[in-house]
Amino acid sequence: MTIMIDTGNYIAAKAAVMAKPDVVAAYPITPQTTLVEGIANYVGTGEFKGEYICVESEHSAMSACIGASAAGSRTFTGTSSHGLLLMHEMLHWAALARLPVVMCNINRVIGPGWNIWTDENDSISQRDTGWIQFYCSSNQEIFDTIIQAFRLAEHKNVSLPVMVSYNAFILSHTSMPVEIPKQQVIDDFLGKYEPLWKLDVDNPITFGNIIGPAGYYKVRRAMQDAQENAEKLIPQIAKEWKQKSGYYHGDLLELYKCDDAEYILLAMGAIGAESKVAIDEMQKKGVKIGLARVRTFRPFPKEEIVKLSRQADLIVIDRNISVGSEGALFSEVKAALYDKSDAKVYGFIAGLGGKDVPYYDVEIICKKAIDGKTKGYEWYGLEEA
């Protein structure tokens, strides 16, 4: 075990290289650029021995990953914001083709107006493509989640692509100490990639051709089954990684001081990490409140959230907006509780466009909910924007 102090992007590059992908497709976009730059540095030093393909766009990056994965290769790429949107067509293709591509998405605002800071609208807008989605809250979690993502994506009962998301600049460009296990630990954990299917000139098959309504219906159902399998496997893989590395960030949710809580806050990404300080401060004041940081948005942890709602009322902070509706996490939480719980659910939108959400703002948000000063959902901090 060694200590590496570096930014989230360079930590992600280290994790990707240690997973030993056969192919990395690279195209730069702020604030993802230093991730693929980091992998390029490992090409230069000889540490990365796979194929490093510099392409002309993000659409091409995902297309290259699809081709490589379909040929039986372990694949990785990274993107952000408009780059992710340019991939949209091919995200659907990768998932429907059941290709276990792993990709980092550095959450950045969608323009116009042009803004390089963070919110989650880029990845949230891809939630129905079939990709598994993780949201990280520290550089250590970025490293550990990328390794686990390969294991999950390549599992025979899943075989779906995985998106590992983390916040622009808050994590992508902030240096933190991260414990890096020995290469053998990762090799033993991942094993050799054995594709469930591949294109092979010596054993020709037809794949992705015309499919009738009945067959397509079954393909879609199989994707849903795979997401449900992933929901069961994520906790198992997380616990196994803890045994191998010593690190555990939760599985579908990370629970923090939820014992005997009468209110539980749900948030994702960096806000979820910042919220721990707010929870500590509120508990010192006698408030019975805990935190459930949502790590996986797809598959959505419905059963775990229902279980929490039978203990406490729920407060949700979204760093995204489903325009014309409300925060995406807020909507999903309410849908999960339908006809299963009488808990109250309070929703807040905060931090869009990279607006800072420090722990004392999280405290204020929670207090508004606890004091009953909000109904439905509320835009917090808009008057200060």
- Total domains in the chain come to 2
pLDDT averaged over every residue in the chain: 97
- Which amino acid appears at position 382 of this protein? L
How far lies 156's CA from each of 60, 98, 173, 232, 372, in Å?
27, 10, 35, 13, 48
pTM score of the predicted model: 0.97
Q: Flag whether pLDDT at 384 surpasses 80.
A: no
Question: From edge to edge, which strands make up the β-sheet containing 75-79?
Answer: 51-54, 23-26, 75-79, 102-107, 162-167, 132-135, 296-298
Q: Which CATH number belongs to the domain containing residue 311 in this structure?
A: 3.40.50.920
Among residues 43, 293, 232, which one has the least CA distance to residue 16? 43
Residue that finishes a domain, picked among 245, 261, 279: 245
CB 124 within 8 A of CB 99: no
Do both 106 and 232 map to the same domain?
yes
**R_g of the chain computed on alpha carbons:** 20
Q: Which CATH number belongs to the domain containing residue 36 in this structure?
A: 3.40.50.970
Do both 240 and 284 map to the same domain?
no
Do both 149 and 285 map to the same domain?
no
Q: State phi, psi for 70 to the nearest 5 degrees.
A: -65, -25
Q: Which residues of 142-171 are buried (b: 16+ CB within 10 A; e: fewer)?
A: bbbbbbbbbbbbbbeebbbbbbbbbbbbbb
Do both 53 and 100 map to the same domain?
yes
Residue 184 makes CB contacts below 8 A (sequence gap 6+) with none
Q: What would the two tokens of residue 372 be?
A: 């009953």
Which tens digit of pLDDT belongs to each residue from 286-310? 999 999 999 999 999 999 999 999 9
Question: From edge to edge, which strands make up the β-sheet containing 377-379?
Answer: 253-256, 289-294, 263-267, 313-318, 345-349, 377-379
Residue that finishes a domain, picked among 245, 279, 300: 245
CB 359 within 8 A of CB 277: yes
Do both 66 and 213 map to the same domain?
yes
Do both 16 and 80 map to the same domain?
yes
Do both 234 and 261 map to the same domain?
no
Among residues 45, 256, 80, which one has the least CA distance to residue 165? 80
Residue that finishes a domain, picked among 204, 222, 245: 245
Do both 207 and 236 map to the same domain?
yes
Pairing of strands 377-379, 263-267: unpaired
Do both 77 and 214 map to the same domain?
yes
Which tens digit of pLDDT belongs to each residue from 132-187? 999 999 999 999 999 999 999 999 999 999 999 999 999 999 999 999 999 999 99
Burial of 177 (0-12, 13-18, 19+ CB in 10 A): exposed
Do both 144 and 262 map to the same domain?
no
Residue 81 makes CB contacts below 8 A (sequence gap 6+) with 29, 106, 107, 108, 109, 110, 111, 122, 168
Q: Flag whether pLDDT at 385 surpasses 60.
A: no
**C-alpha 108, offset from chain centre:** 13
Do both 216 and 259 map to the same domain?
no
Q: Flag whether pLDDT at 33 surpasses 60.
A: yes
Of the pLDDT bands very low, low, confident and very high (cuts 50, 70, 90), residue 359 is very high
| Mean pLDDT, residues 236-260 taken together | 97
CB 358 within 8 A of CB 326: no
- Rounded to the nearest 10 degrees, the angle between the axes of helix 183-190 and helix 213-245 is 150
Do both 258 and 224 map to the same domain?
no
Q: Look at residue 328 in the predicted model and tell me its pLDDT.
A: 98
The residue segments making up the domain with residue 275 are 253-384
Residue 330 makes CB contacts below 8 A (sequence gap 6+) with 316, 318, 345, 347, 377
Residues of the chain with pLDDT > 70, as a percent, come to 99
Taking the CB of residue 385, how many other CB atoms lie within 10 A of it?
8
Hey, is 120 helix, strand or coil? coil
Location of structure tokens 């030993």: 20
Which tens digit of pLDDT belongs to each residue from 184-225? 999 999 999 999 989 999 998 888 889 999 999 999 999 999
Residues facing residue 72 across a β-bridge: none
Among residues 78, 63, 103, which one has the least CA distance to residue 208? 63
Stronger pLDDT, 235 or 196, i.e. the higher one: 235
Which tens digit of pLDDT belongs to each residue from 74-97? 999 999 999 999 999 999 999 999
Long-range contacts formed by 327-335: CB under 8 A, 24+ apart: 327/377, 328/120, 328/124, 328/127, 328/297, 329/266, 329/267, 329/268, 329/294, 329/297, 330/377, 332/297, 332/300, 333/266, 333/305
Taking the CB of residue 215, how many other CB atoms lie within 10 A of it?
9
CB 51 within 8 A of CB 1: no
